[in-house]
């Protein structure tokens, strides 16, 4: 059998024996570059700078990287790992010949300080280490073609024309987090956030509202840092913080070159999946176009602020890394930095119109399924322009805000929760559209042509063998074939697979209650299940249950008067309930003043027991019995007065209810014997009662219906929202809690006078 010989490669020969350090190899471009060097330039010696991530060392991260399928063909890959972070890199190997720096923050909208740390400080500190070696090292810096900013027309391969003071901007950018953190604690911001949190979460308790206010403050800090970065960038002529800080990073590289060093500044356009290698369509993670492609295929991207004839400058990742290797093999002269664009828009452009037609053709042939409704409906783009798109978006956001306000006033029902579900879905779609329209608007409306004369000249200087092995002439790419047959199928494949898994998966999902596991009498682990009463076990409220007790004692005309009197107080009760649930309970329970407590017990025992038990949701009773059969303790936690819980004694091991205060004759005073158990006090009760019983709350269950019960549900490991109100419904969906409907029995009477009917 003949010996297989490798075709002669000038690039391979130029790099043979060189020691090259790579950064960013755990990223998309870095991984592709590492693969290309290992497979096509095996005689190069490679070191990689990788930071530990959590408890995983840099060495272990590279071991996991090399275990990926694309590296299966690379036998005995030898890669030296240098562990460290770019913000403070360690000393570099003392025999380096070249460094390829592809690490960086690729988010368009990072918090401004993070953008500066990654894209400016990281470059500066790495170059300090390069210069400390004292060697003639070729430094290749991977930037982006979009450092050109908000310019228009042809962009040459050369330094970006600007006079920004890098050190001044860097000092400003790094100082912003401390400044914004201080502003976030100012009275204007924290007062507004506190009031908003108390409006939304006050019924659950002030500490719950305080936690929400602090989360809102942290989000405000992040959003403000993003906003500052974007606004400062645009005030100086860049699209966003990413391109702004990348441009300043280039200035650091140019200063390094000016000190007599070799430096190449390499600028790719929008990097997408591979054309041919490691295999067609290879991609890691979502890049710029993927969220838009997927959203369009699902029918969720009805518009976009681009003109049909505007170019979207995309390049396959294998072209990118092939041209990087070619640049690496052809270092520039000392003190004279080289510039290369890897782009397609000048010689072989893809327009947004072409992209739309190709993606639409693909999904028309291979549609996403829209649940049980068949194929997702594809929007038709008319490319009305950025101003029209903004008007449509602004109108949609205003309508959604009004609808959300009205929803908060709607009574609790299955229909209301359905409206909330639909409105939340629409809200997520609007947020998605707003985020991506704001992020991509500048790019979608940019009229840029990145000149790639230097890159094309480099490619044409290569031998025919190297042109084949290290192909990067974007002028010959068939974009329809690439997009329709390679790129879009590759980015949709994992989504389709995930959709199939979701259909088949058996694990609990929101809407399905957690399973109950029986405990053996010999087990030390004990479990409790906590239940709310009104709205959870039965559809009742404190006003209704008061009338059950009161109307049975009155004659016909007095009954009507009492109902009218209580009806007149409903606005007062609603206001008290919205302010704080304990206020409602105290207000209603004042109506019991003068009643003898023993008489209340007698009314319940003689006239209301059957009614109360008949009002219990059958599924609720079944669930209680399942817990008891499993050996779990069952606990009722309610704000209802204790007499009303007497019929439920056989179902529960412990009942925590409201006790009416009585005088020395046994008559109710109109006050409670202790503060009502509502909001955060319920969570505290669960934790303390469980501690006394030797029970871990992580093993416990809780069932409740109201947002005011959020602390109760959050206190256990298995929370279940039962016919929840809209705020709790939204929290449960966000937290992946079980959500169930326990319907009242169809035969149950809704009379306000069950005791009177039985007399």
Confidence of residue 291 (pLDDT cuts 50, 70, 90): confident
pLDDT value of position 148: 94
* Of residues 344, 364, 350, the one with CA closest to residue 308: 350
- As a residue count, the chain comes to 759
In order of 529, 695, 702, 744, the CA distances from 632 in angstroms are 7, 11, 12, 24
User: Is 278 domain-assigned?
Assistant: no
Mean predicted confidence (pLDDT) in 45-72: 93
Q: How many domains does the chain have?
A: 4
Q: Are residues 340 and 403 in the same domain?
A: no
Report yes or no: 544 and 752 within 8 Å, Cβ to Cβ. yes
Res 162 pLDDT > 70: yes
* Of residues 655, 538, 640, 530, the one with CA closest to residue 584: 640
| CATH code, 458 | 3.40.50.720
For 456-508, the pLDDT digits (tens) are: 999 999 999 999 999 999 999 999 999 999 999 999 998 888 877 766 654 44
Q: Are residues 455 and 491 in the same domain?
A: no
Q: Are residues 117 and 263 in the same domain?
A: yes
For 222-257, the pLDDT digits (tens) are: 999 999 999 999 999 999 999 999 999 999 999 999
User: Is 289 domain-assigned?
Assistant: no
User: Is 489 domain-assigned?
Assistant: yes
Q: Are residues 180 and 142 in the same domain?
A: no
pLDDT value of position 507: 46
Q: Give the CA-trace dihedral at 81, 86, 92, 96, to 10 degrees.
A: 80
Q: In whole angstroms, what is the distance from residue 315 CA to residue 323 CA?
A: 11
Q: Which of 465-474, 553-562, 583-592, 670-679 is the most confident on average?
A: 465-474
Residue 15's domain comprises 1-164+237-269+313-346+451-472
Q: In whole angstroms, what is the distance from residue 696 CA to residue 204 CA?
A: 23
Report yes or no: 327 and 264 within 8 Å, Cβ to Cβ. yes
pLDDT value of position 584: 78
Q: Are residues 433 and 535 in the same domain?
A: no
pLDDT value of position 461: 96
| CATH code, 732 | 3.40.50.1000
Least confident span in 114-128, 384-398, 437-451, 651-665: 384-398
Mean predicted confidence (pLDDT) in 520-546: 80
The residue that leads in pLDDT, 154 or 438, is 154
Mean predicted confidence (pLDDT) in 14-43: 95
Q: Are residues 172 and 159 in the same domain?
A: no
Q: What is the pTM of this model?
A: 0.80
Q: Are residues 624 and 687 in the same domain?
A: yes
Q: Are residues 562 and 694 in the same domain?
A: yes
User: Is 30 domain-assigned?
Assistant: yes
Give the Cβ contact number of residue 564 at 10 Å.
9
pLDDT value of position 575: 63
Q: Are residues 3 and 34 in the same domain?
A: yes
pLDDT value of position 19: 97
pLDDT value of position 512: 57
Q: In whole angstroms, what is the distance from residue 167 CA to residue 252 CA?
A: 10
Q: Are residues 198 and 151 in the same domain?
A: no
User: Is 283 domain-assigned?
Assistant: no
Res 417 pLDDT > 80: no
The residues near 743 (Cβ < 8 Å, ≥ 6 apart) are: 617, 619
User: Is 514 domain-assigned?
Assistant: no
For 693-729, the pLDDT digits (tens) are: 999 999 999 999 988 899 999 999 999 999 888 889 8
Q: What is the 3-state secondary structure (H, E, C) of 692-742?
A: HHCCCHHHCEEEECCHHHHHHHHCCCEEEEECCCHHHHHHHHHHCCEEECC
The residues near 246 (Cβ < 8 Å, ≥ 6 apart) are: 104, 119, 143, 144, 146, 147
The residue that leads in pLDDT, 369 or 115, is 115
Q: Are residues 27 and 126 in the same domain?
A: yes
Least confident span in 82-96, 174-188, 414-428: 414-428
User: Is 71 domain-assigned?
Assistant: yes
User: Is 274 domain-assigned?
Assistant: no
Q: Are residues 366 and 335 in the same domain?
A: no
Res 4 pLDDT > 50: no
For 295-338, the pLDDT digits (tens) are: 889 888 888 888 888 889 999 999 999 999 999 999 999 999 99
pLDDT value of position 235: 96
């Amino acid at each position: 059998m003949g010996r297989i010989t490798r075709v002669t490669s000038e690039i391979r020969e130029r790099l043979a024996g060189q020691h090259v350090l790579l950064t960013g190899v755990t990223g998309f471009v870095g991984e592709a570059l590492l693969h290309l060097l290992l497979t096509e330039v095996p005689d190069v010696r490679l070191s990689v700078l990788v930071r530990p991530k959590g408890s995983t060392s840099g060495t272990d991260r590279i071991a996991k990287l090399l275990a990926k399928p694309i590296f299966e063909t690379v036998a005995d890959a030898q890669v030296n790992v240098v562990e460290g972070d770019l913000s403070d890199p360690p000393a570099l190997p003392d025999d380096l010949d070249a460094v390829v720096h592809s690490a960086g923050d690729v988010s368009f909208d990072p918090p401004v300080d993070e953008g500066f740390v990654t894209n400016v400080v990281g470059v500066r500190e790495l170059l300090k280490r390069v210069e400390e070696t004292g060697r003639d090292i070729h430094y290749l810096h991977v930037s982006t073609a979009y450092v050109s900013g908000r310019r228009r027309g042809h962009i040459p391969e050369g330094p970006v024309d600007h006079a920004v003071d890098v050190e001044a901007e860097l000092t400003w950018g790094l100082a912003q987090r401390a400044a914004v953190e201080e502003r976030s604690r100012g009275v204007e911001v924290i007062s507004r956030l506190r009031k908003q949190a108390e409006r939304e979460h006050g019924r659950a308790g002030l500490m719950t509202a305080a936690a929400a206010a602090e989360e809102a403050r942290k989000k405000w800090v992040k959003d403000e840092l993003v906003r500052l970065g974007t606004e400062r960038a645009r005030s100086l002529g860049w699209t966003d913080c990413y391109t702004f800080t990348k441009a300043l990073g280039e200035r650091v590289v140019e200063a390094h070159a000016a000190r007599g060093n070799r430096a190449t500044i390499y600028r790719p356009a929008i990097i997408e999946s591979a054309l041919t290698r490691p295999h067609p369509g290879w991609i890691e993670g979502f890049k710029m176009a993927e969220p838009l492609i997927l959203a369009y295929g699902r029918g969720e991207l009805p518009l976009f602020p681009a003109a049909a004839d505007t170019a979207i400058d995309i390049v396959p990742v294998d072209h990118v890394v092939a041209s990087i290797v070619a640049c690496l093999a052809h270092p520039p002269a000392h003190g004279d930095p080289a510039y290369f664009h890897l782009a397609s828009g000048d010689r072989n452009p893809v327009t947004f119109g072409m992209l739309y037609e190709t993606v639409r053709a693909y999904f028309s042939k291979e549609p996403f399924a829209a649940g049980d409704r068949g194929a997702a409906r594809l929007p038709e783009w008319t490319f009305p322009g950025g101003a029209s798109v903004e008007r449509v978006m602004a109108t949609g956001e205003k309508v959604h805000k009004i609808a959300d306000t009205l929803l908060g006033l709607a009574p609790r029902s299955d229909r209301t929760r359905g409206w909330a579900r639909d409105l939340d879905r629409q809200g997520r779609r609007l947020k998605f559209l707003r985020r991506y329209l704001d992020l991509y608007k500048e790019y979608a409306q940019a009229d840029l042509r990145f000149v790639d004369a230097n890159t094309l000249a480099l490619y044409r200087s290569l031998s025919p063998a190297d042109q084949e092995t290290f192909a990067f002439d974007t002028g010959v790419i068939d974009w329809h074939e690439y997009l329709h047959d390679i790129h879009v199928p590759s980015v949709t494949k994992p989504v389709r697979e995930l959709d199939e898994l979701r259909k088949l998966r058996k694990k609990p999902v929101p809407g399905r209650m957690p399973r109950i596991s029986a405990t053996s009498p010999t087990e030390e682990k004990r479990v409790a299940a906590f239940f709310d009463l009104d709205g959870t076990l039965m559809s009742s409220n404190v006003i209704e249950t008061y009338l059950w007790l009161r109307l049975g004692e009155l004659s016909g005309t007095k009954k009507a008067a009492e109902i009218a009197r209580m009806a007149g107080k409903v606005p007062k009760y609603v206001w008290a309930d919205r302010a704080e649930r304990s206020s409602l309970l105290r207000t209603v329970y004042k109506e019991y003043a003068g009643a003898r407590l023993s008489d209340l017990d007698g009314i319940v025992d003689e006239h209301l027991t059957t009614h109360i038990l008949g009002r219990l949701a059958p599924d609720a009773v079944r669930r209680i019995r399942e817990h008891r059969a499993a050996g779990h303790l069952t606990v009722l936690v309610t704000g209802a007065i204790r007499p009303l819980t007497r019929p439920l004694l056989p179902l529960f091991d412990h009942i925590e209810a409201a006790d009416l205060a009585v005088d020395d004759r046994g008559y109710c005073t109109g006050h409670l014997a202790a503060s009502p158990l509502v909001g955060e006090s319920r969570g505290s009760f669960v934790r303390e009662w469980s501690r006394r019983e030797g029970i871990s709350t992580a093993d416990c269950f809780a069932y409740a219906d109201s947002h005011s019960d959020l602390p109760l549900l959050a206190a256990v490991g298995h929370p279940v929202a039962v016919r929840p109100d809209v705020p709790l419904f939204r929290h449960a969906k966000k937290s992946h809690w079980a959500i169930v409907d326990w319907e009242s029995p169809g035969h149950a009477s809704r009379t306000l006078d069950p005791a009177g009917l039985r007399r």
